[in-house]
């Protein structure tokens, strides 16, 4: 069975010569309480890019267009102790949008300097790839979570 597909999109802006990323504490659902980027599940037949455009709008009220989304990779999450949580996430970064981020049912968006991303309040895998992606990199990685459903117990990179 293919894994359920989700997407995440990190909005980046420049402020005073520094780069900031838009995150928010997830109000409910998978990962409740963690700081996350904007994103969610793909609808049937929807591409990851189209889902990211839709989710960014639903969760923050800002409009991005598909051509401005920079694809930055694919993450596979395995939860052997809770198979329903296993999923695959397409990762995007976006620097152009219309509107001002506003609170939604999903999260209250906040800007963070890239040097102050709250990695200790995010999913455990984030510290292993997010700083690099926000600095311009890409990621292709598989993370396996343990029985506590929170700790990464194994990390795999694709064989070259």
Ligand X SMILES: CNc1ncnc2c1ncn2[C@@H]1O[C@H](COP(=O)(O)OP(=O)(O)OP(=O)(O)O)[C@@H](O)[C@H]1O
User: Which residues here bind ligand X, judged by CB under 6 A?
Assistant: 6, 8, 29-31, 36, 39-41, 77, 89, 123, 125-126
- Closer residue to ligand X, CB minimum distance, 117 or 126: 126
Residues in the chain: 160
User: For residues 31 and 146, which CB has a smaller minimum distance to ligand X in the complex?
Assistant: 31
Structure tokens belonging to residue 133: 């992606």
Minimum CB distance to ligand X, residue 140 (Å): 14
Q: Which residue is nearest to ligand X (CB)?
A: 39
Angle (CA) 120-125-131 rounded to 5° is 70
**Whose CA is closest to 55, among 15, 17, 13, 105?**
105
**Which of 8/20 has CB closer to ligand X?**
8
Q: Smallest distance from the beta carbon of 9 to ligand X, in angstroms?
A: 8
Q: Using DSSP, state whether 83 is helix, strand or coil.
A: helix
Nearest distance, CB of residue 157 and ligand X, angstroms: 16
Distance CA 160, CA 158 (A): 6
């Amino acid at each position: 069975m293919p894994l359920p597909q989700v997407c995440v999109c990190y909005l980046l802006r420049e402020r005073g010569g520094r780069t900031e990323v838009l995150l928010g504490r997830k109000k409910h659902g998978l990962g409740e309480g963690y700081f996350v980027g904007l994103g969610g599940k793909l609808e049937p037949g929807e591409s990851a890019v189209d889902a990211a455009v839709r989710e960014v709008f639903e969760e923050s009220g800002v409009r991005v267009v598909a051509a401005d989304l920079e694809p930055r990779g694919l993450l596979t999450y395995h939860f052997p102790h809770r198979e329903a949580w296993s999923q695959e996430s397409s990762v995007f970064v976006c620097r152009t949008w219309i509107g001002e981020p506003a609170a939604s049912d999903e999260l209250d968006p906040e800007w963070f300097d890239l040097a102050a991303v709250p990695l200790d309040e995010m999913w455990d895998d984030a510290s292993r790839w997010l700083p690099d992606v926000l600095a311009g990199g890409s990621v292709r990685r598989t993370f396996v979570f343990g029985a506590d459903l929170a700790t990464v117990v194994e990390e795999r990179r694709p064989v070259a």
